[in-house]
Amino acid sequence: MTRQYFGTDGIRGRVGEPPMTVDFALRLASAAASVLAPSGGSVLIGKDTRVSGYMFESALEAGFVASGLDVGLLGPLPTPGIAYLTQALNADFGVVISASHNAYDDNGIKFFDRHGLKLSDELEARIEAALDGVPRTRDSSSLGKAEIATRARSMYQEFCRASFPADQDLAGIKVVIDCAHGAAYKVAPRVLAELEADLVPVGCSPNGRNINAGCGSTRPDLLQMTVPGVRADLGIALDGDGDRLVMVDNKGNVIDGDQLLYILAIDRRSTGELRGPVVGTVMSNLGLERALLGAGIGFQRAKVGDRHVLSMLQASGGILGGETSGHLLCLDRTTTGDGLIAALQVLAVMRRTGRGLDELAAGMERLPQVLVNVRLDQPLVLDEAGGVREAVLDVERTLGDRGRVVLRPSGTEPVIRVMVEGESDGEIRHFAAQIADAVREAAASGPAQLIS
């Protein structure tokens, strides 16, 4: 069963253009209800701070109530918060209205099952198949009802707080928290304040249009300036829906997802808590793999996307995994990627060891890595692009075991991502440009079907 609308992380697009329209959201609610709760039940709806979230929330609410489902409205709350609450409140499934790290004029819709896990490809395909039907409206006696879930935010805050050691606090640690004007703008500062951190909030004043704008995990420049400027010990940057994390040390250096994963893995091993291999992705820095293997910790690579990382962790019995972008999975603490919980785990390591972020990350030598996004006017089948294959093989022969090349189509936009890493920054920039040119030439030579 193929999927037309669901990508690597739900359905996403520009607001007002298919599929991100009100009529589609209404049909999607009816289709999802027929697949995920055909006999009735309950669903939770959460969102980030985009102005379009109100519109999609209302459309989904109408579709679910018409299908006979009771709806709990969570309001702005991080994506992992909806995952947790879906399980904690015994809902049949949860829905998140968010386009994650994208600008405000995009939005998206994604689902969690009753266990707080993302849906399988099969379930997403079944929902898409049901979209062809007419949205169902039950008679008045069978309609659902909607209400605001008043305790939801405090429940999630307590859950996050409980992931931090009960015998520790953050008193005396100065933290700059950047919530990207997104879904975590209330929860994250409150949890850190409860732990007695000396807090400096930025990116915590959403207006519906400033989400991810010049701030957050995808734009840590603001945090890099602020942390040394206010003489903080560290900075925490989340993305718009709160499932990504990058951090900044006291000197203003970015500590990315690979480095944070290394810190957590080394600590979990020292405390005897580490189980199974650490799982990264094909895009994870080679320096992470070398550092973990050098420390006697197994490492595996999954396809890009936290759902693939989760699947490999479950298959291998591991508890730690993640992506360079900051999607970090701590399965000994929660079921999905959670930026705030991951940050609390790193803070716990700092508090217990008395070491700064820069010192904790020093054991991993991050190799230079260049990522070039080649935007396409027409689709391209990489397997059939001979010039691209030749360019990649030529670079791989030159690099040998000193580096890697990864080419992959984006799951959310018409882009081919060209990643080259190695020991020389100048060399890999030259190689990345060389391969990107080959991709552009192949795309210009004629239309074909994009592979995923």
Domains belonging to the chain, first-starting first, are 11-151 (3.40.120.10), 172-254 (3.40.120.10), 256-339+351-366 (3.40.120.10), 369-444 (3.30.310.50)
Q: What is the mean pLDDT of the chain?
A: 94
Q: Strands (DSSP E) along 149-194, which ranges? A: 174-178
Q: Strands (DSSP E) along 297-381, which ranges? A: 299-302, 320-322, 328-330, 369-375
pLDDT per position as a tens digit, 340-376: 999 999 999 999 999 999 999 999 999 999 999 998 8
Q: CA distances (Å), 420 to each of 259, 393, 406, in order?
A: 18, 12, 7
Which of the four pLDDT bands, split at 50, 70 and 90, describes residue 382?
Answer: low
Beta-ladder partners of 246: 237
pLDDT of residue 412: 64
Question: Choosing from 42, 100, 217, 325, which is the catalytic residue?
Answer: 100
> How far is the first Cα of the chain from the last one, in angstroms, to the nearest whole number?
15
Give dist(CA 440, CA 436) in Å, integer. Answer: 6
Rounded average pLDDT over 75-92: 97
Rounded average pLDDT over 419-441: 93
pLDDT per position as a tens digit, 25-78: 999 999 999 999 999 999 999 999 999 999 999 999 999 999 999 999 999 999
Beta-ladder partners of 407: 418
What secondary structure, in 3-state letters, does 286-305 show? HHHHHHHHHCCCCEEEECCC
Q: Which two structure tokens, joined as six digits, stand for 200?
A: 């400096």
Which of the four pLDDT bands, split at 50, 70 and 90, describes residue 208?
Answer: very high
pLDDT of residue 214: 96
Rounded average pLDDT over 375-402: 82
Predicted confidence (pLDDT) at residue 107 exceeds the cutoff of 90: yes
Separation of CA 278 from chain center? 17
* Share of residues in the chain with pLDDT > 70 (%): 96
More confident residue, 56 or 390: 56
Give dist(CA 452, CA 441) in Å, integer. Answer: 20
369-375 and 415-421 strand pairing: antiparallel
Long-range contacts of 439-442 (CB under 8 A, 24+ apart): 439/374, 439/380, 439/385, 439/388, 439/407, 440/374, 441/387, 442/380, 442/385, 442/387, 442/388
pLDDT of residue 442: 84
Rounded average pLDDT over 386-411: 88
Q: Using an 8 Å Cβ cutoff, are 297 and 265 in contact?
A: yes
Half-sphere exposure of 248 (CA within 13 A, CB side): 31
Return the biggest CA–CA distance within the chain.
Answer: 71
Q: Is 100 a catalytic residue?
A: yes
pLDDT of residue 307: 87
What DSSP designation does 20 have?
S
Predicted confidence (pLDDT) at residue 448 exceeds the cutoff of 60: no
pLDDT of residue 451: 37
Three-class SS state of 115: coil
Q: Which amino acid is at 400?
A: G
Three-class SS state of 406: strand
Three-class SS state of 384: helix
Give dist(CA 7, CA 23) in Å, integer. Answer: 20
Give dist(CA 406, CA 68) in Å, integer. Answer: 47
Give dist(CA 61, CA 76) in Å, integer. Answer: 15
Give dist(CA 16, CA 119) in Å, integer. Answer: 25
Q: Using an 8 Å Cβ cutoff, are 190 and 81 in contact?
A: no
